Amino acid sequence: MPNCEEYNLVLMLEAKFFAIEPKLEDYWRAIILFGRNVASYKFALAKSLLELAPSGKTIITLEDLAEPYSRYITEHIKVADTQTTSTSSRFLDACRQFNSQGISKTRLIDTTVRLGFGNVIDAFHNLSAGATPVRFFTDERKGATKGIVLTDELFQLLQVLQAENLPLEVEARWRLVESAWDLKISSKLISYDSTQELLFAVNDLRRRIDVTSCRDALNGYQKGKCFYSFADISIISGSENLADVDHFFPYRLFNDIPNINGVWNLVLASQECNRGENGKFDRLVAIKYLERLNNRNEFLITSHHPLRQTLMLQTGNTEKQRRQFLQSTYTAAQLKLGTGRNDGWKAPFEHPATF
């Protein structure tokens, strides 16, 4: 259980995430990204909602929901067997039996309806500070529906500009959580491969395990916006506004800044900001962006297992230590690059702030 100070920090950061004109996608992202997880069921339910909603059906029976829900979980079990912190689960055992052809699809669906939803439907909208004011479905299991009813907010969510990014963000969060459980890497580091733009971990056999795309893992915490200009970005491969993964402190300081490839130093930037003669590229940015990086990293800190542990190991155990780490790193970078206080790079344009 978190101590009082940690809990208050989580509440403060959740409030800060919603502080600037929260949109539908912000409420959705908060559900996916924040809070502790004891099982992966929330992610399977989220992906099922995003899959079912385009059909236009409002009433979703548990049988309808059970098909995509169990399919996503069985697919993930093939990659990472551990899908909960609990020592046993009859539902997950049924998913494993299905994967080994021990039971039929019909039997799996029946078991999912009986055992698969447990508390996940009740708890889906819950954050540390309470339930989100926006709900993407209502629980009608005790009524005539025997399932859930999708709300207008879920259908509206599918129409927002960021809708195409949301399934990838859910998948990335799921991969991070299950990797932490399956590999027991809560005390180890998630690293970044700049050539493949992947986050990866190394298990006890010194074997590399690719976890997820760096873009997919970071996008939600930036609300789908460029870190520097707040322009809309995409994480869909081939998109015209595909985000660049940028080193906040430039990579040319590799020998001077520890863990420069750490998640703490990676941000998503629009191509307009990062490239070209006037782009940020390998320049040191203006100091005004340092507070923004601190805010983004504190959002990540609330993301338990393994990004929380990764950032704390790299930058400090307390918010004060992490802030001091960023400030001292910025000062060291200025001295190394001969950059004055007002000489740092700034985005040529900036939309209204979103985080």
Q: Over the stretch 309-332, which tens digit does the pLDDT of each residue have?
A: 889 999 999 999 999 999 999 999
Q: Does residue 187 register a pLDDT over 60?
A: no
169 and 220 Cβ atoms separated by less than 8 Å: yes
pLDDT number for residue 3: 62
Does residue 48 or residue 204 have the better pLDDT?
48
* Region 157-171 average pLDDT: 97
d(CA 148, CA 120): 12
DSSP codes joined into one string, 12-34:
HHHHHHTSS---HHHHHHHHHHS
pLDDT more than 70, % of the chain:
95
d(CA 17, CA 312): 20
pLDDT digits (tens, 9 = 90+) for 234-244: 999 999 999 99
Per-chain mean pLDDT for the chain = 92
pLDDT digits (tens, 9 = 90+) for 261-315: 999 999 999 999 999 999 999 999 999 999 999 999 999 988 877 788 889 999 9
Residues linked to residue 6 through DSSP beta bridges, in sequence order: none
d(CA 216, CA 144): 39
Q: What is the dihedral sign for C-alpha 247, 252, 254, 258?
A: negative
Confidence at 7, pLDDT banded by 50, 70, 90: low
pLDDT number for residue 207: 84
Confidence at 2, pLDDT banded by 50, 70, 90: low
The domains of the chain are located at 37-159, 184-337
d(CA 49, CA 164): 14
Helix ranges, the chain (H): 4-17, 24-33, 41-52, 62-79, 90-99, 105-111, 120-123, 152-157, 166-183, 214-219, 271-274, 288-301, 307-315, 319-337
Confidence at 338, pLDDT banded by 50, 70, 90: confident
pLDDT number for residue 20: 77
Q: Does residue 186 register a pLDDT over 60?
A: no
Confidence at 9, pLDDT banded by 50, 70, 90: low
* Region 181-204 average pLDDT: 83
Does residue 338 or residue 344 have the better pLDDT?
344
Q: Looking at 42-56, 160-174, 229-243, 293-307, which range is the least confident one? A: 293-307
Q: How many helices (H) and strands (E) are present in the chain, helices listed first?
A: 14, 10
**What SS3 class is residue 200?**
strand
**What SS3 class is residue 137?**
strand
pTM recorded for the entire structure: 0.92
